[in-house]
A and B are shown apart, each in its own frame.
Chain A
Amino acid sequence: MSYDPDTQSQLCPTTLHINGVRHDLEIEPWTTLLDLLRGPLALTGTKKGCDHGQCGACTVLIDGMRYNSCLLLAVSQDGAEITTIEGLSTGDQLHPMQEAFIEHDAFQCGYCTPGQICSAVGLLNEGHAHSREDVRELMSGNICRCGAYVNIADAVEDVMGQQTHAVAAQ
């Protein structure tokens, strides 16, 4: 429907595929993807940090690439395939990046961790990191107030290495 100035409302039919589940929604256009996920959809794994695209806590994957969900209007993502931290594991089987974060103790308070892990999975999908320098630069959109950066970079490098070995073994 179009905007009604009397009620100051507009509901936009929007279809989102989130963690493999189709959601047919009616959304007010000023709703960010982050607020939609955490509010009506109760997917609270995605965190609200700065809410201005500066910290990366809200990072999700859309068609495999990483985005700050706080800066996306949900209506603009009509038809998108979205993966949040809740969608990375398969049942009790954690994603290799989740395993690596545990293995390398890559967090302290944990608030930035869902965004860090989604960002790291996006980094691998995007395929532009080839060294530790690259990992550090291409993870710079995710701030960790506790300063776990060294272990985060170790975890990402570990999974990058596993992938390289997997390719080499084929």
Chain B
Amino acid sequence: MNRFSYVKATSVDHAVDVLTADPAAKVLAGGTNLVDLMKYDVERPTTVVDIKRLPLGDIEALDDGALRIGALVSNADAAYDRQVEENCPLLASAILAGASPQLRNAATTGGNLMQRTRCYYFYDPSAPCNKRDPGTGCGAIGGVNRIHAILGASASCIATHPSDMCVGLAALDAVVEVSGPQGKRDIAFEDFHRLPKDDERGDRPDLDNTLQLGEIVTGVRVPRQAFGQNYTYLKLRDRLSYAFALVSVAAGLTLENGVITSASVALGGVAHKPWRDKRAEDMLKGQTPSREIFTAFAERILSPAVGQGDNDFKISLARRAIVRALAQAASGTPQRQSQKSYA
């Protein structure tokens, strides 16, 4: 681990000041990703700003029925919180699909949003990686790419976002609350993470998200949801627990008299950010749940999918996982994360 200056933040404004003054500073919360990356020399911050003592550790119900989850609420505390379980069980389930109990005790809500890809080339400072060292190339394209993206990749990066929680938050249309040198602002969840290439900043896989210099995540708001019964988080991976997703599906449906009135589906493990296609979701509205309509939806959302070689299997795996997840959501039988057979 490199040497750095350690600063205990005394307020959000203090943390913002330190981050604004030193672009190579990093925020420390749970540390489960940052400390790991520092040990690999992938992250070499000049300053580490410890925000763990800031008052961002509460979950509160807002007047409009939304829940605000503070940036420092641990993944475990969020997943087992009664309000989260009642208001958005999809989020609780997604969190429990990720990592291990030890990691969920340490990892925070804000840190989960900020975690970096698990691409092997990103983790290896001796390998080329446009995300870690812009302009050096991508070892994964044409390399070992079993875990890589099938959607939204660019010519310079095929990394995936590793989070499960964020896939749940994407399906729930959450809002990210941030503070920065210009004050506070809200970012719609779909606008928080970015694809490696976008219109605004071009092909910049080094930028995981749309935070500006000095900005810090202070919390996440989850709107009041109707997916109390008809939801699931289905995660497929190389072993049954404690592994990153090859493909995961967060699905929520609203049903009235047996007809779908709204649908929300987010995919994990397949792109640089949780993947949604709202126009594809629209085709589910007004339909009666059936294997045929779910398959048609899966074909539609995966129509731009491209394999990289080792990960070609993800396209058919995702198709089947989407159909299975929508069937679980429609029947109100969500996947339990401790149950290792798929209903």
Contacts and interface: CB of A to CB of B under 8 A. Distances in A.
Given A52-B39, A128-B80, A138-B101, A3 B4 contact: yes
Range class of the B interface residue count = 20 to 34
B287 to A, nearest CB: 34
B288 interface: no
A30 B4 contact: yes
**Most chain B beta-carbon neighbours within 10 Å: one of A76, A134, A142:** A76
A126 B28 contact: no
Contacts of B337: 137
A133 B5 CA distance: 44
B36 A71 contact: yes
Given A30-B3, A53-B36, A136 B101 contact: no
Given A10-B5, A52-B39, A126 B338 contact: no
A8 interface: yes
A148 interface: no
**Most chain B beta-carbon neighbours within 10 Å: one of A3, A9, A56, A136:** A3
Contacts of A66: 101-102, 105
A46 interface: no
A10 B6 contact: yes
Interface in A113-144: 119, 122-123, 126, 128, 131, 133-134, 136-138, 140-142
B102 A67 contact: yes
Interface in B96-153: 99-103, 105-106
Contacts, number: 96
Contact of A53 (B50, B102, B339): B102
Nearest to B29: A76
Contacts of B31: 71-73, 76
Contacts of B39: 51-52
**Most chain A beta-carbon neighbours within 10 Å: one of B1, B36, B339:** B36
Interface of A: 2-3, 8-10, 12, 29-30, 32, 51-53, 56, 59, 65-68, 71-73, 75-76, 119, 122-123, 126, 128, 131, 133-134, 136-138, 140-142
B45 to A, nearest CB: 11
Contacts of A68: 32, 102-103, 106
Contacts of A73: 6, 28, 31, 35, 48, 50
Given A75-B50, A128-B80, A141 B35 contact: no
B242 interface: yes
27 contacts: A3-B6, A30-B2, A53-B36, A56-B100, A56-B102, A67-B102, A68-B103, A72-B31, A72-B35, A73-B48, A73-B50, A76-B28, A76-B31, A76-B50, A76-B52, A119-B101, A122-B102, A123-B101, A133-B338, A133-B340, A134-B338, A136-B338, A137-B338, A138-B338, A140-B241, A140-B242, A141-B100
